[in-house]
Structure 1
Amino acid sequence: MLSQPLSKVLGKKTADELIRQGLLTVGDLLHLLPRRYDTWGELTELAQLVEGEHATVQAQVLRSTSRRTRGGRPAALMEATVTDGASTMDIVLFGGAGLMSHYAKQLAPGTTVLLSGKVGLRRGRRQLASPRFQVLDDLSEDEREALLARPLPIYPGTDALPSWKLAIAMRTVVDQLGDEDVPEPLPAEVRAAHRLVDALTAWRWIHCPQDEEQWRAARRRLRYEEAFVLQAALARRRVEHESTHAAVAWSLPGPQSLRADLDAALPFRLTAGQVRVGEEIATALDSTVPMQRLLQGDVGSGKTLVALRAMLQVVGAGGQAALLAPTEVLAAQHRASLEHLLGPLARGGMLDGAVRATRVHLLTGSTPAPRRREVLAALAGGEPSILVGTHALLNESVQLPFLGLVVVDEQHRFGVAQRDALRERGGVTDPQALPGSQERRTPHLLVMTATPIPRTIAMTVFGDLDTAVLDETPGGRSPVATHLVPWEREPWVEGIWRRAAREVATGGRVYVVCPRIDVTDEELTDLAHGSLGVGADEPDTAGLEDLVSALGEDPSPARPLAAVTEWAERLAAEPALEGVGVGTLTGRMSPAEKTAAMEDFASGRTPVLVATTVVEVGVDVPGATMMVILDADRFGLSQLHQLRGRVGRGDRPSLCVAVAGCEVGSPAYHRLKAFAETLDGFALAEADLELRSEGNVLGAAQSGRRSDLDLLRVTRDARVIEQARGEVQAVIARDPGLEHHPDLAAAITERLDEESQAYLERA
């Protein structure tokens, strides 16, 4: 029944309109759930009606007529006069000529009718325009009372197919359903444990409820079913993946190992969180089950060191590790940071290298050809080393025969396909085997993020990734005070530059971030460049969801967005900053220019740096004490938090000033308010999820309102998801192929489209 075309169940006109909306089958229509439920409300006497109020009346029709309008739309209207025995009022409905003629016949004189709508006045008489109505002549008193209490499902209708027509179509379909027509994905013991109604009852009650209790019970059942089916899809794919894919087990490092040498050389102690998470990752690497782990840690929590220790476990055992970064600036910073942490341990094969040592290679689109050939040859030859790079690592010319671990930093900058492209090449079973060996195994995967994007949180809750959380901040970091400044408060804006001068005078450095590079640039294009720090290997299309959602709120602001070139000139002429060097940094600059700009900033030659969001991630200047974000309402929460993370990296108090021009109550206002109220990246991620939804949980979209969830919401229903996960694991453990649960297997197939199936295959 559920697969039956709507054209065989409903009238052709209704079915054709539903098909135009993408609803082809009975099952498709059933999944069009009511947005909300309404009721008729308490009856009101006509004499007591007040203009502007929403009222429900029971009355008798005195007269009714329909007529065409003179040109334009709507084509016709139906007018009627009704009475409750003491007073009268007018009714008017608009629509097509045929429909209005039909309404006039329904509301023939003498008909008793229930009407609900907003009361208006026309020529001094009370009127209901376009009210809901229900003819009562064929109903008993008891049935009339039940009708008043019955919830009315409200659907996302259109002009051609309004909510009330959808409700009629839905009732027609639901009335034809039998027990044999509706599959039951939930095992009986699960339904009993949670006191859930069966599937057929749930569909009947959610579309045709007799009271509020019924539709609430139906929604609870269908919400749990949704969690259960999605968990089952993830669990079954994971079991299949683990049974058909294997990784090299990299032995736990002993006291005479590369990782132990690093630990002994560190000038500080690891935090308890770094030790705990490090051991979790080390154990996962010492397994042939491919690790899929999300390393969550707020800005400055020490994720890079945790990732380095994991890479040394692989490299020290003869394997290779790759660290994928979204920008050239960040990749270069990572390479410098890793070499600084390793010291002599990073100088393998050199006279001043340690006894046990490796090498850290850098590969980006701007790497000179001779150096590129040298790096590629060393890697292809199987040198146990760490490779740091940008999208250039995804090029097929990069051969890593003994790749054992892929680390992805700031994963929200990469699509799922990009994240998995490097990993899918695999590594050989034995690091000592010949590079040409065809026996391949899947590398382990470690994904790092400081501010999880909505889909990441969703997939974490749904169980796609194991999680490791760094919930401590190493000593030496100072808190960052955050202030919001509206553009219209000009004295406040001017005060920002006086404060910047004081920061510079006491040895600090000041970032000024703009959403555009040039005044004449297209906004979205330059937000892309600014966000990614575009270089030869960095496309300008990845990671733009934050920016697109922000721009979508107001694509044509009255005041031009701040641009780097404009503000660099303005600050150079700012009296408060007289004598202070002002530099610039954008994604359009060459790698050499970027490096020089950062060196000038860090050294103090240009202690004020006007930049795009190329400085968003990875840039580490301990002397930076002030971050100014111009047009902050044009950035997403994760970007704002990352930008704020560029200051407070030393032991001096720091501040972040966000200058914005958004209206109070707008989405941008709520985003900035959340940003200013907490420094906790995890809390901001939850706020981001609330503001932007989960995104397509089983597809490629990172966030937004096109969620493939019907009733389930990650932030609200985490407990439901956890319960479903535990019960699904028990089912899959007993029946991995779901041979004994055919309805559940069918629900998974029906639920997942080809894109979602492909996503699960990759994940």
Structure 2
Amino acid sequence: MTGRPELLFPLFADITTLAGVGPKVAQNLAQIDIQRPRDLLFSLPYSGVDRQRRSSVLDAELPNTVTVEVLIGAHRPARNRGGAYRVTVEDSRTAFQLVFFHARGDYLKKVLPEGERRIVSGKVELFDGVPQMVHPDHIVTEAEAAEIPAFEPVYPLTAGVTLKTMHKATRAALEKLPVLEEWIDPSQKSQAKWPDWHAAMAKAHTPTQLADLAATAPARERLAYDEFFAHQVTLALARSKLQRAKGIISEATGALQRKVLSALPYTPTDAQGRAIADVTRDMAKPLRMNRLLQGDVGAGKTLVAFMSLLVAVEAGGQGVMMAPTEILARQHLAGLRPLAESAGVVLELLTGRDKGKERKAKLDALARGDIHILVGTHAVFQPDVHFADLRLAIIDEQHRFGVRQRLELGKKGAGVDVLVMTATPIPRSLALAQYGDMDVSILDEKPPGRQPIKTALISTARMQEVVEHLRKAVSEGKQAYWVCPLVDESESVDLTAAEERFKHLRAALGEGVVGLVHGQMPPAEKDAAMAAFQRGDTSVLVATTVIEVGVDVPNATIMVIERAEIFGLAQLHQLRGRVGRGDQASTCLLMYQAPLSENGEKRLTTLRETEDGFRIAETDLEMRGTGDLIGTAQSGVPRFRIADLESQTALMAVAQSDARKLLNDDPSLETARGRAARVLLWLMEQDQAIRLISVG
């Protein structure tokens, strides 16, 4: 199937093919991302108006929307321009007024002829004890009564598009609905009591009561499931593509791993043991590994990574570990070096700084197989980098890597196993959406010897006390981070700039004690400031959030976060994780400016109460919603029109297992259900997936 199935053409036609949608309306609809009948159908009503016919306006508790039959009486045109034009009408029990502003009298006389009966529907309010309906939504004759739905769906609107227009356009779109073959597993569908797609669409757009608008209403739930399922089929296709790509069998002998374990001053946690076993098992299979290692700050990912790299070396191959920045790459190198020495393996670093002869010597050694493990930045992607026998690629802090880059990396070595690491605990729903194509190992225990971090809230009014506390700590040889919110005074927001704070602290603590690093510094200066702090040349590092990811200074035991209330929860958790990396007790001071908003207070107290990154991530998701949490633009998390990631995690999990099962039973989607799933992919515009099948 090379192009979109003909069956779907009407849904992807221009929106002006629908009755009542002219060029002007089409332009307005485009403002809310509706350009084709399909988009309209996927914009479900979010509320509804009860327009059941009543015998009198007195039967409703006013103010309220009322639909009632009336006898039309006298017209009273407005006395002055912009005044009210009134028409007196009578229902079965009382007289009331219809009120119009900026009205054309000749038009109203035609629509509301005196002495005749009409059905009117609109909001009725009491003014001086007299009911009034201002600008009725509907005025129809008895013969046209069916035009007013008993329960009228309310749609998200944009300027220039009325509810009436939306209603008319969606009805026209519903008439174009094709009947599609079923892609949902039959037992899943009957157990959940879901209608067919066609019926679900019709029902979702013609609710008869408020309950029909709930996410759990069968029609809506089914449509949400369709979105999740299409997305998960896409991920499952990417996954089977990565896996179908034959892997290399890398069998561990355990010889090198045992050397490292016996040299460690502690016993790995059970979680670390499980993750190492997962990876070792995956690497021994003839399929390609595609695993995510999710570990909270300080859960000991480095050890798991190194043990995984040793599997590659024990099997006679090489491993590579990639970090997003040079500082982190160097830090990985420092963390892995003692482990490599205990195992007797050759470890090297490759970054953009390697030039000329030195670089060439490294590349030659790599191509000969003399370097067992390479640590580097994305410089390892460059075309002149060749491995003798690359078996495993580890990518750190993966949120900068989408599915596409993961496919890219695989090209460096046919069948290379991939392990992705992230220190950002991701709530389950997001992990399913973002990494649904990967298997997941979780490190949820802290290694022994890690001291808990004491977290305290302090108002900025007590700044002087904090500086005193810092002076004392520095005199005892401790190190501290001081994180500032913004670096640019021109941001006119009342936030002390990092430069100002730096001067203030330097004056208080002495020259040469305080370093500064912020986002607008040239990279070399930034690295130098970080390195000085790492060596202990400076005791206090004033920084903007550039230190968020992964910098490791075991001697740093104090973290001050200024204006903590304007940071997100996950970000605060990451920042706090920069201390407490050695064996000394550490403190994190969250400085806030009073008064705190309710949300700000909830964020800071959550942080004070727990160090569990997964709990923090869940709370963050509850408080902020999905898009906000991950900066949707760069995250590769899809935007769903109907489904809601937060409240429907369970549904996403079902969609994942169902999608994997479908592709397991029918890898090229050739069965009847497989072909139906292809139509779904076209309907949901999962073009990437369609390419994967067509080339698959």
Length-normalised TM-score, structure 2: 0.84
Q: CA deviation at 1:91?
A: 2.6
**SS in structure 2 of the partner of residue 573 of structure 1:** helix
Structure 1 residue aligned with 2:228: 227
Given the alignment, which residue of 86, 96, 112 partners 1:88? 96
**Can you list the C-alpha shifts for 1:16-67, whole angstroms capped at 9, x where unaligned?**
447745645433332222233343489797689999x555464635456899
Q: Which amino acid aligns with 1:31?
A: F
2:631 corresponds to 1:644:
no
Q: CA deviation at 1:469?
A: 0.5
2:602 corresponds to 1:659:
no
Q: Give the Cα–Cα distance (whole angstroms) in 1 for the partners of residues 79 and 38 of structure 2.
A: 38
Q: CA deviation at 1:300?
A: 0.7
- Pairing of 1:128-527 with structure 2 (within 5 A): 128-129=133-134, 132-133=137-138, 135=140, 137-138=142-143, 150-174=150-174, 176=175, 181-212=179-210, 214=212, 216-243=217-244, 245-254=245-254, 257-345=255-343, 357-367=344-354, 369-418=356-405, 420-421=407-408, 423-427=409-413, 441-452=414-425, 457-459=430-432, 463-485=436-458, 487=460, 490=461, 492-517=462-487, 519=489
Given the alignment, which residue of 738, 743, 749 partners 2:669? 738
Q: CA deviation at 1:613?
A: 2.4
**Can you list the C-alpha shifts for 1:493-518, whole angstroms capped at 9, x where unaligned?**
33322332343344432111124445
Change (3 A) 1:20 1:587: closer
**SS in structure 2 of the partner of residue 251 of structure 1:** coil
- Which deviates further from its counterpart, 648-657 or 444-453? 648-657
Q: Give the Cα–Cα distance (whole angstroms) in 2 for the partners of residues 508 and 330 of structure 1.
A: 23
- Which deviates further from its counterpart, 647-656 or 258-267? 647-656
Structure 1 residue aligned with 2:4: none
Given the alignment, which residue of 719, 724, 729 partners 2:650? 719
Change (3 A) 1:16 1:183: farther
Change (3 A) 1:279 1:417: same
Runs of 5+ in structure 2 lacking a partner?
Answer: 1-6
Structure 2 residue aligned with 1:568: 502
Contact 1:293 1:446 (C-alpha < 8 Å) held by counterparts:
yes
2:40 corresponds to 1:29:
yes
Contact 2:50 2:65 (C-alpha < 8 Å) held by counterparts:
no
Change (3 A) 1:249 1:138: same
**Can you list the C-alpha shifts for 1:322-346, whole angstroms capped at 9, x where unaligned?**
211122221111111110333354x
Contact 1:92 1:127 (C-alpha < 8 Å) held by counterparts:
no
Q: Give the Cα–Cα distance (whole angstroms) in 1 for the partners of residues 595 and 684 of structure 2.
A: 40
Q: Give the Cα–Cα distance (whole angstroms) in 2 for the partners of residues 688 and 761 of structure 1.
A: 39
Q: Give the Cα–Cα distance (whole angstroms) in 2 for the partners of residues 382 and 258 of structure 1.
A: 17
Contact 2:234 2:688 (C-alpha < 8 Å) held by counterparts:
no
Structure 2 residue aligned with 1:540: none
Contact 2:399 2:635 (C-alpha < 8 Å) held by counterparts:
no
**SS in structure 2 of the partner of residue 621 of structure 1:** coil
2:543 corresponds to 1:611:
yes
Q: CA deviation at 1:749?
A: 2.5
**SS in structure 2 of the partner of residue 27 of structure 1:** helix
Contact 1:641 1:681 (C-alpha < 8 Å) held by counterparts:
yes
2:672 corresponds to 1:685:
no
Change (3 A) 1:414 1:519: farther
Structure 2 residue aligned with 1:13: 22
Q: CA deviation at 1:120?
A: 7.7
Contact 2:249 2:284 (C-alpha < 8 Å) held by counterparts:
yes
Change (3 A) 1:117 1:401: farther
Change (3 A) 1:375 1:588: farther
Q: Give the Cα–Cα distance (whole angstroms) in 1 for the partners of residues 112 and 453 of structure 2.
A: 68
**Can you list the C-alpha shifts for 1:200-242, whole angstroms capped at 9, x where unaligned?**
2211111112334555221122123333333333334433443
Q: CA deviation at 1:185?
A: 2.6
Q: CA deviation at 1:68?
A: 14
**SS in structure 2 of the partner of residue 3 of structure 1:** helix
Residues paired across the two proteins, number: 677
Q: CA deviation at 1:614?
A: 2.9
Q: Give the Cα–Cα distance (whole angstroms) in 2 for the partners of residues 17 and 604 of structure 1.
A: 61
Q: CA deviation at 1:611?
A: 1.6
- Pairing of 1:521-560 with structure 2 (within 5 A): 557=493, 559=494
Q: Which amino acid aligns with 1:613?
A: T
Contact 2:321 2:395 (C-alpha < 8 Å) held by counterparts:
yes
Change (3 A) 1:680 1:165: same
Contact 2:28 2:158 (C-alpha < 8 Å) held by counterparts:
no
**Can you list the C-alpha shifts for 1:171-213, whole angstroms capped at 9, x where unaligned?**
2333x357x6344332444322321112222111111123345
Given the alignment, which residue of 3, 9, 16 partners 2:9? 3
Change (3 A) 1:220 1:134: farther
Runs of 5+ in structure 1 lacking a partner?
Answer: 346-356, 428-440, 524-555
Structure 2 residue aligned with 1:351: none
Q: CA deviation at 1:282?
A: 0.6
- Which deviates further from its counterpart, 215-224 or 60-69? 60-69
Q: Which amino acid aligns with 2:411?
A: R
Q: Give the Cα–Cα distance (whole angstroms) in 2 for the partners of residues 259 and 711 of structure 1.
A: 49
Q: CA deviation at 1:602?
A: 5.0
Contact 1:58 1:114 (C-alpha < 8 Å) held by counterparts:
yes
Contact 2:558 2:586 (C-alpha < 8 Å) held by counterparts:
yes
Q: Which amino acid aligns with 2:19?
A: L
Q: CA deviation at 1:652?
A: 3.4
Q: Give the Cα–Cα distance (whole angstroms) in 2 for the partners of residues 589 and 361 of structure 1.
A: 28
Q: CA deviation at 1:124?
A: 10
**Can you list the C-alpha shifts for 1:331-366, whole angstroms capped at 9, x where unaligned?**
111111110333354xxxxxxxxxxx2222222233
**SS in structure 2 of the partner of residue 701 of structure 1:** helix
Contact 1:297 1:470 (C-alpha < 8 Å) held by counterparts:
yes
Q: Give the Cα–Cα distance (whole angstroms) in 1 for the partners of residues 195 and 228 of structure 2.
A: 16
- Which deviates further from its counterpart, 160-169 or 129-138? 129-138
**Can you list the C-alpha shifts for 1:513-559, whole angstroms capped at 9, x where unaligned?**
12444546xx6xxxxxxxxxxxxxxxxxxxxxxxxxxxxxxxx63x1
Q: Which amino acid aligns with 2:46?
A: R
**Can you list the C-alpha shifts for 1:741-760, whole angstroms capped at 9, x where unaligned?**
22222111332344565799
Change (3 A) 1:400 1:700: farther
**SS in structure 2 of the partner of residue 712 of structure 1:** coil
Q: CA deviation at 1:640?
A: 1.9
**SS in structure 2 of the partner of residue 181 of structure 1:** coil
Contact 1:483 1:656 (C-alpha < 8 Å) held by counterparts:
yes
Change (3 A) 1:343 1:659: same
